[in-house]
Amino acid sequence: MTRFYRALLRLYPGSFRREYEGELSAAFVQRVHGRSAAYTFLAALGDVVPNAVAMHVEILGRDLRFAARAVMRAPGFAITTILVVALGVGANTAAFSLADFVFLRPLPFHEPDRLVKLWQRTPDYGQMELSPGNYRDWKAASRSFSGFAVYSFQAANLVGGSEPRRLDVVKATPDLHQVLGVPALIGRPLAPADSEGVPVVVLSYALWQTQFGGDPGVIGRAVRLDGTPHTIVGVMPATFNFPQSGTDAWTPLVFREENYEDRTDTYITGIARLRDGVSTVQARNEMIGIAAQLAKAYPAELEDVSAWVLGLRDEVSSSARMLVLALCGAALCILLLACANLASLFLVRATSRVRELAVRTALGAGREQIIRQLVTESVTLSVFGGVVGIAVAWATVPLLARLVPQSLPLAASPTIDARVLAFAFALMIVTGLVFGVGPAIGAGKSNGLELLRAGTRTTGGRTRRVRAALVVIEISASVVLLILSGLLIRSVWNIQARDPGFHTQHLLTLRTALPPAKYDSVARREQYYERVLARVRALPGVERAAFITGLPMVMRGGIWGAGLNGVEPPRTGSHSVSLRFVTTGYFSAMDIPLRRGRDVENSDTQKSLFIAVVSESFAKRHWPDEDPIGKRFSVAFSERTVAGVVADVRVRGLEQESEPQVYIPYRQVEDGSLVGYLPKDLVVRSELPASALLPSLRAIVKEADPEQPVSHVRTIAQILEGETASRLTQLRLLMTLAIVGLLIAGVGIHGLLSFTVSRRIPELGVRRALGAQVGGIVRHVLGEGLRLAVAGVVVGVGLAYVAARGMGALLSEVKPEDPATIGVSAALCFATAILGCVRPAIRAARVDPIQALRSD
């Protein structure tokens, strides 16, 4: 039992235990003499535990008061430390919260790891939508899945609820929610029975809140989607964002027999749940096999069409992935910098306190007490810094929303994760401990008196080498950051310099997507378009206006095959074109130059010759050496004659190659055919600001059709900005990190050289006394700083080259070894290094020989 008591004594602070161990045991033994074992056991606990806790609290309080006093004496040190910790914790928490959100956190579905997406794959397109025919056959033949649903996107006008609104609807086979395994918040999700009877609709949480005021009685209510009555059967929870954030509602997708016929009509995406024990690769192999059999059965349509199966989480484009990874890399660089700087700060502080510690040791303070004191100090500072860092992360994380890939079924804004926070915090405390206490332990080991006698000089040599190494690390980390942000800046410049193919200023656009059921004939649509266009064009200040199926960079798909001699080839490879229906005046409104022939005209009707206006690249592809005007080709179920040639535009955005473009007069289509291509985006060229123009535009639409919602109001310039928005966000972050890194490195160099100079004041004094010139001494100090800078830059450039090659996908028309970027970054580092040298050099130059020799 005494042994138990002695073991418990370890709870006391060591110095107390060592001092009173024997006395405590003796007194305890006498006190419990003759008592039962249980009593002794409880008495031991009741004796030691509360007293030990009380003692620790007492000592902590004393240490904290002492730490506060020490910090007050050196506020510069405290503020620098807190800022450095805040930076490290803040940057890393923000970056890793984003990475965790994008890559790691489980998606909000039942067993999300077993969900996969299914795509068709051709030599040209790694991931392409499926045709209903292929879906039916794939589903019937596959054994890998316990459920297999498909969906497609459709925008629809909602009438019912507060006011007409444009919705992003997902039409899905009714087993979708079953495959995902997510129950409805209220009511029920889609169910297999929904493929028959009155159409139903399931609302997203956001739509339920905004359009129906969160009314639970909404279940069973009738609304109209594009004119068709639907019954609301359920509301999904706020976390459900499938297939992507911003989806407003889900309706059943039902195939009729004729939908299965055209195997090149690919517009649905597959989502399936793997059966127990089946891996993604196994499923992929099975599907590739099935696709190969289908290709044999339908050689004309499915030649080269294979299958691809991909985990739901892997649905992130390589550049989106790279954006996040690059940010994490940068944050790690900052962490490295922060740690190196902390180490440097604590090292120099410990060195400058050797004398103080030696005095305290001489006055009887135990080694344990001194270490305890230092731990309290560095942890206190780290905690303060950590708290500021969390505030920094809190403010930054919402700004990172633009970096969340849109292809993921996630809500758009990442949140700070407690695990990441704890990790960053722990890291900082560990750094503070290792570098704040390590030197003290070293100091504590040596004989106190010896240290007292030696002053600050003895520990200088090793500390200085460690600090020099830390400065080199700091410089190389900031070189890496500078070079990477430099390369990304040049990439953005290159992308922004690309000509989109149209004029971007003074163009306002909005969307009025006509419900195909209501506007089921060209004649009805003509009424709407001509009425709206005539009134818009008559507005004062409006120069030109037109409608198109979808704006470049907004609608990137709409790809068809176009061929000569009456053959309509598959929509792949060298046959593909992007198809748009336009009203008159589209090219002049967008300032797309007309190269040959004529624009679409009002006389191009269902009864006249079917014509098309094509882009230069299309003309060049099919008739390289001939005049394309009057030539004939087949596209989208009809034969067309080329009436005009216009310049190319970047339909797929600034970063991707685009297919040649084919524009068709909106009147030249069979009623009921190609309803997905009805012109919906209105472009208006006007020098008036959007705010002045918009009320009149809304009034014109309302007058033409009161049930028609207006959506997607923005300027073309905004669309273009959106092209580089995620890059710019990332760039700003990287630049901020790079500048901060450079500052830290500068402070590091300054600190090191100040330390060196102060340590060498006697030596410099001797030199001066022996006749050394001031210039020589200044050169000496500067030389030391520059040597460190050179070492750091060399290491940094090497590392940056490796990193830049890793993120090649993000670099646009700029090579990882870009000399200008490397040159500027290195120059910035040298400049910082020299700035860091200035004060120490001046101090060295001002050393008074007499005083220096006397002082020590």
Partner 1 sequence: MTANRDDVDDFLPLPPATFHILLALVEGERHGYAIIQDVEARTDGELRLSAGTLYRSVARMVEQGLIAEVVKRATRQDDERRRYYRITPLGTSVARAEMRRLTQLVRLARASGLSPETT
Q: 687 with 506: CB under 8 angstroms?
A: yes
Q: 785 with 833: CB under 8 angstroms?
A: yes
Give the nearer residue to partner 1 in terms of CB position, either 54 or 449. Answer: 54
On the 0-12 / 13-18 / 19+ scale of CB atoms within 10 A, 68 is: middle
Alpha carbon 637 to chain centroid, angstroms: 42
Q: How far is the CB of 8 from partner 1 (least distance, A)?
A: 9
**Alpha-carbon span 461 to 453, nearest angstrom:** 17
Give the nearer residue to partner 1 in terms of CB position, either 30 or 565. Answer: 30
SS3 content of the chain, % helix, strand, coil (to 5): 55, 15, 30
Q: Does 26 bind partner 1 (CB under 8 A)?
A: yes
Q: How far is the CB of 27 from partner 1 (least distance, A)?
A: 4
Q: Does 16 bind partner 1 (CB under 8 A)?
A: yes
Q: 203 with 248: CB under 8 angstroms?
A: yes
Q: 740 with 823: CB under 8 angstroms?
A: no
Q: Does 63 bind partner 1 (CB under 8 A)?
A: no
Three-state DSSP state, 149 = strand
Residues 225-264 that bind partner 1 (CB under 8 A): none
For residue 19 the two structure tokens come to: 């001092």
Q: 756 with 840: CB under 8 angstroms?
A: yes
Q: Does 36 bind partner 1 (CB under 8 A)?
A: no
Give the nearer residue to partner 1 in terms of CB position, either 2 or 673. Answer: 2
Contact stretch for partner 1 (CB under 8 A) within 20-28, 210-218, 563-571, 811-819: 20-28
Instruction: Name the DSSP letter for residue 242.
Output: -
Q: Does 407 bind partner 1 (CB under 8 A)?
A: no
Q: Does 52 bind partner 1 (CB under 8 A)?
A: yes
Q: 742 with 482: CB under 8 angstroms?
A: yes
Identify the residue among 7, 10, 18, 27 touching partner 1 (CB under 8 A): 27
Backbone angles phi, psi at 352, to 5 degrees: -70, -15
Q: Does 22 bind partner 1 (CB under 8 A)?
A: yes
Q: How far is the CB of 397 from partner 1 (least distance, A)?
A: 47
User: What are the DSSP calls for 369-380, one per residue?
Assistant: HHHHHHHHHHHH
Give the nearer residue to partner 1 in terms of CB position, either 63 or 705. Answer: 63
Contact stretch for partner 1 (CB under 8 A) within 40-48, 189-197, 434-442, 724-732: 40-48
Q: How far is the CB of 12 from partner 1 (least distance, A)?
A: 8
Buried b / exposed e across 624-649, counting CB within 10 Å, b at 16+? eeeebbeeebbbbeeebebbbbbbbb
Q: Does 46 bind partner 1 (CB under 8 A)?
A: yes
Q: Does 31 bind partner 1 (CB under 8 A)?
A: yes
Other C-beta atoms lying within 10 Å of the C-beta of residue 41? 15
Give the nearer residue to partner 1 in terms of CB position, either 31 or 732. Answer: 31
Candidates 362, 340, 358; CA nearest to 350 is: 358
Q: 275 with 144: CB under 8 angstroms?
A: yes
Contact stretch for partner 1 (CB under 8 A) within 45-53, 134-142, 217-225, 411-419: 45-53
Identify the residue among 1, 4, 6, 51 touching partner 1 (CB under 8 A): 51
Give the nearer residue to partner 1 in terms of CB position, either 40 or 92. Answer: 40
Per-residue x/- marks for partner 1, 501-540, CB under 8 A?
Answer: ----------------------------------------
Identify the residue among 2, 10, 14, 20 touching partner 1 (CB under 8 A): 20
Give the nearer residue to partner 1 in terms of CB position, either 19 or 261. Answer: 19
Q: 652 with 501: CB under 8 angstroms?
A: no
Q: 749 with 837: CB under 8 angstroms?
A: yes
User: Given CA atoms 821, 823, 826, 831 in this order, what sign does their dihedral have?
Assistant: negative
**Alpha-carbon span 631 to 635, nearest angstrom:** 13
Identify the residue among 6, 7, 23, 334 touching partner 1 (CB under 8 A): 23
Q: Does 48 bind partner 1 (CB under 8 A)?
A: yes
Instruction: Name the DSSP letter for residue 151.
Output: E
Length of the chain, in residues: 856
Identify the residue among 43, 59, 675, 791 touching partner 1 (CB under 8 A): 43
Identify the residue among 14, 18, 19, 162 touching partner 1 (CB under 8 A): 19
Q: Does 24 bind partner 1 (CB under 8 A)?
A: yes
Three-state DSSP state, 74 = coil
Residues 321-360 that bind partner 1 (CB under 8 A): none
Q: 448 with 358: CB under 8 angstroms?
A: yes
Give the nearer residue to partner 1 in terms of CB position, either 48 or 841. Answer: 48
Q: How far is the CB of 370 from partner 1 (least distance, A)?
A: 17
Give the nearer residue to partner 1 in terms of CB position, either 62 or 712. Answer: 62
Give the nearer residue to partner 1 in terms of CB position, either 25 or 231. Answer: 25
Candidates 557, 553, 368; CA nearest to 445 is: 368
Identify the residue among 7, 42, 54, 802 touching partner 1 (CB under 8 A): 54
Q: Does 28 bind partner 1 (CB under 8 A)?
A: yes
Q: Does 66 bind partner 1 (CB under 8 A)?
A: no
Buried b / exposed e across 386-405, counting CB within 10 Å, b at 16+? bebbbebbbebbeebbbbbb
Q: Does 384 bind partner 1 (CB under 8 A)?
A: no
Identify the residue among 3, 30, 75, 276 touching partner 1 (CB under 8 A): 30
Give the nearer residue to partner 1 in terms of CB position, either 55 or 778. Answer: 55
**Alpha-carbon span 70 to 675, nearest angstrom:** 76
**Alpha-carbon span 705 to 111, nearest angstrom:** 46
Q: Does 55 bind partner 1 (CB under 8 A)?
A: yes
Integer angstrom CA distances of residue 289 from 120, 163, 279, 294 = 12, 50, 16, 9
Q: How far is the CB of 369 from partner 1 (least distance, A)?
A: 12
Other C-beta atoms lying within 10 Å of the C-beta of residue 598? 13
Angle between helices 716-759 and 774-806 (to 10 degrees): 140
Total binding residues toward partner 1, as defined by CB under 8 A? 22
Q: How far is the CB of 453 from partner 1 (least distance, A)?
A: 29
Contact stretch for partner 1 (CB under 8 A) within 50-58, 245-253, 587-595, 651-659: 50-58
Q: How far is the CB of 359 from partner 1 (least distance, A)?
A: 19
Give the nearer residue to partner 1 in terms of CB position, either 43 or 794. Answer: 43
Angle between helices 37-73 and 14-31 (to 10 degrees): 160
According to DSSP, the residues that pair with 159 across neighbouring strands are 224
Contact stretch for partner 1 (CB under 8 A) within 46-54, 273-281, 594-602, 649-657: 46-54
Binding site for partner 1 (CB under 8 A): 12, 16, 19-20, 22-28, 30-31, 43, 46-48, 50-52, 54-55
